[in-house]
Structure 1
Amino acid sequence: MDEALLRVNNELDSDVLVTWRSERCYQCSYQQLGVIPARPSPGQSSSVDFTVSTQHAITLQLNSTPDTLELCKLQFHFGEHGNYSLWMKNLTNSSRCSIVTDADPVNSYIPILVAFAIYVGLALMFLIGRKILRLSAVRVSWNNLRIPGVLQRLSWSYLVVASLDLTVARGHLDVLTTDSWWSPGLDVLLYWPAWVCVLLLEALWLFLTFLLPVPGCPTGYLGPGGIGDMGRYSDCTGGAAAFIDRWLLGENHIYQTPSSRVIYATHVPYDPEGVLGSINSILMAFLGLQAGKIILHYRELPRSIMSRFLIWGLFLGAISALLTKCSTDEGFIPINKNLWSLSYVTTLACFAFVLLVLLYYTVDVKRWWSGAPFCYPGMNSILVYVGHEVFEEYFPFRWKMANSQSHTEHLTQNLVATSCWVLISYVLYKKKIFWKI
């Protein structure tokens, strides 16, 4: 899956070294793919087959050996399960590279389009109709128990935000004035002590991220380590965030296989739900609480609610643009989900507020849509999450696939499992069963 066959043909009189680099790998060094021997005799060519990734476009660089003279460099996005030939041809005073498609790749987007069409058809049929474990036993070792996690981060964020709100919240919102000069900022000014605490926490994140010395790494490093940054900081994955996790929790108690291993070939553990990133998750939860404050304070004024949602979205979007310089990797603080960087939180919150405007107008103001079926799993989110974790190996949520390399079967399995949990959450909703923690 996500692979293609590449045959490299060499018609030159010298060996050729083939190296590659993913276009998604920022400032990475080239990795060796293989060496193609020189042609055996004039008019013939030597060839070697390689398996290449199709997830992202890659750049191939061909150098003669042993003098490492660059012969050519080309960028190409290979298609899944396609067969390709790369020819190194010998011209009079130069060489030429070209890629030929021997067998067309499959279109991996077709299953997604078909699934979308099926679900649209089912939705239409539903509207028309309304109108007329196998859980493997695992020995848990306390020596390698991962301490951080998704639910742990959620609980910590909710604990801090709830504690702040209980400290400064007003008991009766109805008695608060709406006629004073500061009433347009009522939802913020009434809770200024909580805002001060959150801003101080964010200042702590900035201080630790950019000023904490990390042994063997540049101060303020936000990169992926591994082969990123041309391999200069291979052991610096996560920067200060990873250093704090290793110091507080121990290397054996954090996530061992971060997603950065795929593209950046990192080899040190890094936990995306670590201690330092929890500060920004608190900020994210607090911005969600702010959305709730807006609805409570201005619940009789839909225009005020939507305008404030939009202002918050634009404000956070402007902060994101400033922090990232409107770029993927060149900003002051790039968007990084693994680090839960400040720009990631402001960008995520920006889109959340804008989406809230659309949903509030569609569902609450115009009542064009009830929110179904998404409201059912949303009202039992913890139960659905825990149920998925417990029963994910059981039928009908998973079965033994005939072809584990098929996108179609993977997509079918995931859609069936999702549909089952939506149906379960709908039944629980009808029976008024809601699991809260």
Structure 2
Amino acid sequence: MNRDLDKKRHVGLKMDEALLLIHNELLRTDLTVYWKSERCYHCSFQSLADVSASGQPGKAGIAAVSVSTQHGSILQINSTLEEKEVCRLEYKFGEFGNYSVLVKHTHKGVSEIACNLVVNENPVYSDLPVIIAFLVGLAVIIAGSILKFLLSLDDFNNWIFKAINSQETDRLINSELGSPGTVDPLSGDTQPGTWRPPHSPHRLRCVDTFRGIALILMVFVNYGGGKYWYFRHASWNGLTVADLVFPWFVFIMGSSIFLSMTSVLQQGCSKLKLLGKIAWRSFLLICIGIVIVNPNYCLGPLSWDKVRVPGVLQRLGVTYFVVAGLELLFAKPVLENCASAGKILLYYKDQTKDILIRFTAWCCILGLISVALTKISENEGFIPVNKNLWSISYVTTLSSFAFLIMLILYPVVDVRGLWTGTPFFYPGMNSILVYVGHEVFQNYFPFQWKLEDNQSHKEHLTQNIVATALWVLIAYILYKKKIFLKI
């Protein structure tokens, strides 16, 4: 066991905490230390510690407390008897750091008091594992995309063959068996191979990729997100990574509803029959969601006072029924120009410029609405961004981000084929299975195991990344086996 682990256990520190020692060198003046987070809007100070006065010159009364390191801290030190503020400090403590606040009289006289903060032991850089994991993942995605693109080029394949095979084998391939390029059926001449974007012409790969991005983020944050605060939902106003995924799921669902519904209606399916399918799918989503959020049903029948009804799939089921029902109600056999997400992709199919212009326009319009509502402030706007309330600014902000992502993904994935959407495309094609599976098996090996140090962000992050990556691998295998869970 390393020295850092011994130190953490010795002082009793947990993740996102630092040790703070308050030294009171004032004679006959007891102190009370108050604390609050700088992110807590209009919050009152909380009592942190009482520090007795110094018994004699040269000695100090000392109190040891733990302080949060997630956000900046505001310390207010008062004299206990008079309840008069002695001094105030604002500081961002580092995880597992050791700090001291020295409260003493200045050299100018006993009437002036100084509060000095000293770093006894440097903190650890707790965000380093996240940065490394992000850069490694990004490098793997970029390298894989570049390699796949190169392998699709005949010239590169020829170069590989020449580098690996002998001169005689290369001669036989080119002269007798024909080169890997495309042969002109009229002249017999070898023509350069034409690279085609790896996607079905009837399915937009960028939509499945976006769905996969949202799903993988959801799995990761549900598994704990390395126990970092920005991978948890905001307690009230504000926005974290965890607050992004559910609205994006709803956004993609709304886009997919129109795309799939239009296809079904064009095949001659009646509206009444389609309404029955919509109701049945909504019912299944709600039922599956209720089973998932009540994992103790195997221990016996649940009583109504203990059963939980709300959940992610339940909300998706209700939203799906409402949105799909309204779309079906107003659906027309003749397509009309409209400016909603899925309709843009369908109405302006193969008109890349028009699609990108509309994505940009809606991204900017919704973004400007968010700016007006929030005043670019977490708490001071007319309507702050609030996930718990699903405030209108939360909806417009996340919708603006969604259009921005589609603005990037559509040309990169579907138009130019510069990226196949790997690895997010595969879970995006099997989203129900991945979501249900990660909820059901989250407490089982290999998705979870006993950690050596339960107070280490690095170990939690490693476990959560491995668990998330396993679901990507499972989705990839199921995709190759052509196994998809559809309801």
Check whether TM > 0.5: yes
Which one of 406, 420, 424 corresponds to residue 356 of structure 1?
406
Aligned to 1:379: 429
Superposition map of 1:71-82 within 5 A: 71-82=86-97
Classify the secondary structure of the residue corresponding to 2:369.
Answer: helix
- CA gap of 1:86–1:333, structure 2 versus 1, over 3 A, is same
CA distance in 1, matches of 2:475, 2:363: 31
**Structure 2 gap segments, 5+ residues each:** 1-14, 152-159, 161-294
- CA gap of 1:118–1:325, structure 2 versus 1, over 3 A, is closer
Q: Percent identity?
A: 52
Aligned to 2:486: 436
What's the Cα RMSD here? 1.8
Equivalent pair of 2:95/2:126 in contact (CA under 8 Å): yes
C-alpha displacement at 1:313, in angstroms?
0.9
Aligned to 2:81: 66
Superposition map of 1:31-430 within 5 A: 31-91=46-106, 92=109, 93-120=111-138, 122-123=140-141, 126=144, 131=151, 140-173=302-335, 186-188=337-339, 290-430=340-480
CA distance in 1, matches of 2:135, 2:410: 27
Classify the secondary structure of the residue corresponding to 1:337.
Answer: coil
1:49-69 Cα deviation digits (max 9, x unpaired): 001111110100000011111
C-alpha displacement at 1:352, in angstroms?
0.7
Classify the secondary structure of the residue corresponding to 2:305.
Answer: helix
Mapped pair 1:28 → 2:190: no
C-alpha displacement at 1:152, in angstroms?
1.1
- CA gap of 1:365–1:112, structure 2 versus 1, over 3 A, is same
- CA gap of 1:122–1:307, structure 2 versus 1, over 3 A, is closer
Letter in 2 for 1:410: H
Aligned to 1:220: none
Letter in 2 for 1:70: E
CA distance in 2, matches of 1:100, 1:84: 6
- CA gap of 1:393–1:23, structure 2 versus 1, over 3 A, is same
Once the two structures are overlaid, the 10-residue window that deviates more, 120-129 or 17-26, is 120-129
Letter in 2 for 1:55: Q
Equivalent pair of 2:141/2:422 in contact (CA under 8 Å): no
Instruction: Specify which structure has the bigger relative contact order, considering alpha-carbon pairs within 8 angstroms and separated by 6 or more residues.
Output: 2
Letter in 2 for 1:187: C
CA distance in 2, matches of 1:77, 1:141: 47
Letter in 2 for 1:159: F
- CA gap of 1:117–1:313, structure 2 versus 1, over 3 A, is closer
After the TM superposition, list the runs of 4 or more consecutive aligned residues in structure 1 that deviate by more than 2 angstroms: 113-132, 135-142, 144-147
CA distance in 2, matches of 1:299, 1:127: 25
Equivalent pair of 2:145/2:419 in contact (CA under 8 Å): no
CA distance in 1, matches of 2:17, 2:303: 36
C-alpha displacement at 1:166, in angstroms?
0.4
CA distance in 2, matches of 1:114, 1:328: 29
Of structures 1 and 2, the larger Rg is shown by 2
Classify the secondary structure of the residue corresponding to 1:412.
Answer: helix
CA distance in 1, matches of 2:66, 2:306: 35
CA distance in 2, matches of 1:381, 1:408: 28
CA distance in 2, matches of 1:57, 1:424: 41
CA distance in 2, matches of 1:124, 1:330: 40
Equivalent pair of 2:145/2:420 in contact (CA under 8 Å): no
Classify the secondary structure of the residue corresponding to 1:144.
Answer: coil
Letter in 1 for 2:427: P
1:165-198 Cα deviation digits (max 9, x unpaired): 000112243xx5xxxxxxxxx215xxxxxxxxxx
C-alpha displacement at 1:125, in angstroms?
6.5
Classify the secondary structure of the residue corresponding to 1:143.
Answer: coil
CA distance in 1, matches of 2:483, 2:355: 31
CA distance in 1, matches of 2:136, 2:355: 36
- CA gap of 1:424–1:299, structure 2 versus 1, over 3 A, is same
CA distance in 2, matches of 1:126, 1:357: 22
Aligned to 2:19: 5
Classify the secondary structure of the residue corresponding to 2:79.
Answer: strand
1:117-167 Cα deviation digits (max 9, x unpaired): 4435544675687656xx886564421322221111111111100000000
1:94-117 Cα deviation digits (max 9, x unpaired): 100011000100011221233234
In the alignment of these two chains, the number of paired residues is 323
